[in-house]
Structure 1
Amino acid sequence: MRHLDDEALHALARREPDAVKYFREHLATACEACESFLATHSGPDVLDGQVDAVLLALAPPRSDAPLDEVGFARVRRRLRAPRLDTRKWGLIAGAVAAGLLAVVVVPRLRQGGTGVEVGTASQEPGVKGQVGRIALELAVVVRGADGSLRRLDPDTQVDSRDVLLLRYHATEAGTALLFQQRAGEEPQLLGPFALEAGTHDLQDPQGLSGVSLEGESGPLTLWLAASPTGLQPSVDEVKRVLVGEGERWEQGMLAVTRFDVRVRSSQNPR
């Protein structure tokens, strides 16, 4: 089995057919060896835009993987905790691989059916053993209506026809709650998800999860709030954190990432 290395990256940059075919299939599933290489490699000739371009180019043409009928996760990064930069490239590689898979729409206000328990009251830390803290890192790739893929930067304008692919790195296993918040409104729960320690796609028992941007317009904030296994706050407690009132949870065991986008309606003139 081949894994990414300097020679493989250069072959992909040259679009060698055998290399593209092999790694398109190979990166469709998580590979610790490839992600470790991308996380630790420091060669200036394969960082930033060049690596992104190489990896994003592995996605198949739209005809190979039609995804019109499904929605995708709408999540964008603005971390309050320090970034885990050493895992950035592994996260991006995984998000690109996720673009090859079918995605299940996350219905709004979904509260059950995921195999994840949402807390109903505070559970005080330290009552039964020691509960660890959790930290998150997210990688986001946007897929356009034409099937093109590109890495998404903070505060980017997106089209309502665009879809976003999300992959996370968590330092602990736990539970995450995904919210969306429109301008002037309260956060709205999209659903709970089980998180595994390490680098994974955001998914539920039905598969890779997502939410369509269709119908959205203007500023939109998405929140991913995670707590370690055994320490699940209630939805209301998390909402209080998101609006700045849940200081104890925010400074304690709850990790929160905020992702802001500006959605341009596809009906508006460009």
Structure 2
Amino acid sequence: MIFIGQSFASPYLFKFYPKGTKVVGIGAFNLENEREFEKGEDIIENLTLSGTGLNFLYGHYLSEKDYLEISISALAGKYEEVYSHELAYLGNRDNKVFGVREPVITYLRKFNTVDDHHYNHGLKIAYSPSFNMAKQTNFMRGHHELEINYWFSYRRKNYEMAGQLYSRYFTEKKIELSDMGSERSSPYSEVGIELMPAFIYNEFAIRAIGGTGNTTDYNTKNDQIERKSDKGFSVYGGGSLEYDNEDFAANLTFIASSYVFNSIDEDMARDVDFEFENREISLNFLWRLR
């Protein structure tokens, strides 16, 4: 999920403003999140969440080096289930999805830099709670998420090289399925690197976004099937077109990501994969109020 805010709000990423500056943002997004369970060339299970939604955020600069933000998103769409082979008896089905997802709380800290004023770095902490029971129809997370990053930015007049060394932690997830009882996913974590270079011309910027990471084991279990996987990896990429005139910012951003886990299966003759494919495009607007 892409959240508007400090990460995608300025031609210079992680840009700080005077104490007391407030930030208000709104954005629209379209997403498609697909989960596939494959055995060899056969797709046993394909679950797809797609839809259109809105993002809202409010941020406040606690000081010239500290920024706190809360964002929330809502989605209207559908959840498609396609089963085959040993799960074909479940049949295919579509479910409408509508709901508001739990908020994301983000804190940014800028560290002191002495030797080079073009270089900035700091700490980013983002936390997403889980309030209610997640269902296929209500857009809830079903687990807690915590992200702790070290961010960096080297900026000149016409370009910037920014990025993050990130770590993400996901607690056990429980989601209520349409007519298959509930599914539980084991807790897991991910570490990786994200790079976001940009070319800047006056108030406009073109930015590339890319990253890769490694995850711990990811296991799921419901009333019909249990899947156990070995460690996985993630890759993602995208880009954004950005505008910023200090008081107002806008961006059009696209990101696609893929998570692949090597499942542990009794049939050693076949490659068994657990894959997540995510695509999202968003248009965001942000105002800074002094």
Q: TM-score range, shorter-chain basis?
A: under 0.3
TM-score between both structures, scaled by the size of structure 1: 0.24
Higher RCO structure (Cα 8 Å, ≥6 apart):
1
Structure with the largest fraction of strand: 2
User: Which structure's residues are more often helix, by fraction?
Assistant: 1
